[in-house]
Amino acid sequence: MTSNFDVKMDEYLPLRDVVFKTLRQAILKGELEPGERLMEIQLAERLGVSRTPIREAIRKLELEGLVLMIPRKGAEVARISENNLRDVLEVRRTLEELAVDLACQRMTEDELEELKKTQELFAQAIREGDAMRIAQTDERYHEIIYGSTKNEKLVQILNNLREQMYRYRLEYIKDEDKRHILLVEHDQILKALSLRHVHEAKIAIREHIDNQEITILKNLKEQENDVQRKVSGRRNPV
């Protein structure tokens, strides 16, 4: 297990919750990869804790669908599911349309200016080809829109969905051919918000999410085909 992540202690949380959050984030961000086995002893040594909080965290992750328990094999990170992706994006699409609707009505000039600056940082990250900075500035871009709705419940729900999208976001961003399209889509959303055009903002955000779904599903299918070819090659060696 070579994943590069560390436990971040929080004096306000029980150790089991800290371990759970650490492992959950590692899975969502791809630091623990789909199909990777979760060995209690190795994880305990890696995080400097006993096996008990590791075991409890794995049980909770299983309930969230992020971990699978395989008979006679143990726990492993659940593979990315097309059905789960579609489920998340169906909900996100509707909520993001609501978010830009409210943002058109409630976004302040200061928030709009911050969104413009974040878009500039996003463009810079794309020019430099820095995948992690692209992901971070993309996330920040949407955070500003969410916050500008002034609807705490909506922000809470969208943030939860955003966490579930971590695994998929990196799949999308690593496709370098799509990065310029991402930039154009952000520009279109920003323009609609600047002009307070609700209909155009909804169309732009819908296309933005639709394109993510198409690209990620294509990447997942290609990965699945690669795995099948490797398995077939092992069964039928030359």
Q: Which of 24, 54, 77 is the last residue of a domain?
A: 77
Domain co-membership, 69 together with 90: no
- Kindly tell me if the per-residue pLDDT of 216 is higher than 70: yes
More confident residue, 207 or 171: 207
Domain co-membership, 106 together with 153: yes
Count CB-CB contacts under 10 A for residue 80. Answer: 19
CATH code of residue 52: 1.10.10.10
State how far the Cα of 122 lies from the Cα of 136, in Å rounded to an integer: 8
Taking a C-beta distance cutoff of 8 angstroms, is the pair 123, 236 a contact?
no
Question: Could you tell me if residue 232 is inside a domain?
Answer: no
Overall average pLDDT of the 57-75 stretch: 90
Closest to 93 (Cα-Cα) out of 206, 172, 193, 182: 206
State how far the Cα of 72 lies from the Cα of 52, in Å rounded to an integer: 20
pTM above 0.85, yes or no: no
Q: Which of 48, 77, 106 is the last residue of a domain?
A: 77
- Kindly tell me if the per-residue pLDDT of 187 is higher than 90: yes
Q: Which pLDDT score, from 0 to 100, does residue 152 have?
A: 97
State how far the Cα of 119 lies from the Cα of 183, in Å rounded to an integer: 8
* Domain around 135: 82-224
Q: Which pLDDT score, from 0 to 100, does residue 52 have?
A: 95
- Kindly tell me if the per-residue pLDDT of 237 is higher than 70: no
CATH code of residue 176: 1.20.120.530
Q: What is the DSSP string of 134-184?
A: HHHHHHHHHHHHHHHT--HHHHHHHHHHHHHHHHHHHHHHT-GGGHHHHHH
Question: Could you tell me if residue 5 is inside a domain?
Answer: no
Domain co-membership, 32 together with 111: no
Q: Which pLDDT score, from 0 to 100, does residue 4 have?
A: 60
Highest-pLDDT range among 65-74, 87-96, 156-165 = 87-96
Taking a C-beta distance cutoff of 8 angstroms, is the pair 47, 39 a contact?
no
- Kindly tell me if the per-residue pLDDT of 6 is higher than 80: no
Domain count, the chain: 2
Task: Encode pLDDT of 117-176 as tens digits.
Answer: 999 999 999 999 988 889 889 999 999 999 999 999 999 999 888 877 777 777 778 778
